[in-house]
């Protein structure tokens, strides 16, 4: 091959992953999306790798090529999907370290936005993270601990000590209350008898309701 041809070929390639790697990465992301949605519908404990392969219309061998075991799949799911969301949500306590109202508003928005962008987030979080017996919760805390949650609790208690947050609020229940206000109605949207409420409506309702309970 002449130098001219080599240069032409190189110039024709876009920067980034080689074509084969890009295709493999896209398929892996697609399989991960299918697994998340299936886990959200059926629960993690009830969903096998074979069921995910069937849902994705691939052979079990193809799925095993990307994820050797269900535990490895969960590890990837936690590291690439859940931990970034958890860190983004927890970051409001650093961004608004001395402003509880702004922090709570931002927290409500981030939770609602995560559920809006990721349909699996609300049902999977309610099934697997809020429950002590949830497979996802157990694996997440075993691998990555709860430092972000503890930091948030410490911030809430500090606000109470400083008179910035109602002293009778229970910090450990603040997250449960927020998640219940936002994720429960969003997760229920799939039921035919439920009224169709957008994430924006649910977020606005939660903010209005919370305004009456945030006074110090």
41 assigned to some structural domain: no
The answer on pLDDT for 19 being more than 60 is no
The answer on pLDDT for 54 being more than 90 is yes
pTM comes to 0.79
Is residue 141 very low, low, confident or very high in pLDDT (cuts 50, 70, 90)?
confident
CA 2 to chain centre: 51
Predicted confidence at residue 67, as pLDDT, reads 94
195 assigned to some structural domain: yes
Length of the chain: 216
147 assigned to some structural domain: yes
Closest CA to 182 of 197, 210, 211, 203: 203
Q: How many domains does the chain have?
A: 1
- Which residues, including other chains, have CB under 8 Å from residue 165's CB and lie 6 or more apart? 100, 156, 159, 214, 216
56 assigned to some structural domain: no
Q: Residues 99-105: what's their mean pLDDT?
A: 94
The string of DSSP letters for 155-189 reads HHHHHHHTTSS-TTS-HHHHHHHHHHHHHHHHHGG
86 assigned to some structural domain: yes
37 assigned to some structural domain: no
81 assigned to some structural domain: yes
Predicted confidence at residue 9, as pLDDT, reads 46
Predicted confidence at residue 130, as pLDDT, reads 78
Is residue 4 very low, low, confident or very high in pLDDT (cuts 50, 70, 90)?
very low
The domain that holds 97 is classified in CATH as 1.10.357.10
Q: Residues 120-143: what's their mean pLDDT?
A: 85
Please work out, in degrees rounded to the nearest 5, the angle formed at the alpha carbon of residue 200 by the alpha carbons of 110 and 168. Answer: 60
Predicted confidence at residue 152, as pLDDT, reads 94
Please work out, in degrees rounded to the nearest 5, the angle formed at the alpha carbon of residue 175 by the alpha carbons of 76 and 101. Answer: 120
Q: Residues 54-73: what's their mean pLDDT?
A: 94
Pick the more confident residue, 155 or 176.
155
161-198 pLDDT tens trace: 999 998 999 999 998 889 889 998 888 776 666 667 88
170 assigned to some structural domain: yes
**Domain interval for residue 122:** 71-211
């Amino acid at each position: 091959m002449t130098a001219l041809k080599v240069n032409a070929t190189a110039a024709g390639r876009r920067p980034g992953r080689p074509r084969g790697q890009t295709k493999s990465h896209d398929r892996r992301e697609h399989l991960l999306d299918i697994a998340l949605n299936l886990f959200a519908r059926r629960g993690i404990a009830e969903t096998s790798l074979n069921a995910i392969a069937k849902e994705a219309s691939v052979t079990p061998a193809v799925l095993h090529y990307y994820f050797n075991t269900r535990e490895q799949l969960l590890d990837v799911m936690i590291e690439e999907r859940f931990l970034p969301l958890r860190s983004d949500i927890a970051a409001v306590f650093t961004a608004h370290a001395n402003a509880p109202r702004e922090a709570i508003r931002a927290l409500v928005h981030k939770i609602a936005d995560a559920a809006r962008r990721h349909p699996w987030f609300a049902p999977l979080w309610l099934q697997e993270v809020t429950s002590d017996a949830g497979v996802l919760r157990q694996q997440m805390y075993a691998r990555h601990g709860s430092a972000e949650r503890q930091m948030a609790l410490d911030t809430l208690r500090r606000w109470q000590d400083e008179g910035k947050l109602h002293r009778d609020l229970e910090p450990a229940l603040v997250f449960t209350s927020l998640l219940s206000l936002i994720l429960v109605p969003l997760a229920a949207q799939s039921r035919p008898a439920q009224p169709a409420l957008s994430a924006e409506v649910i977020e606005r309702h939660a903010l209005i309701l919370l305004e009456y309970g945030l006074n110090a």
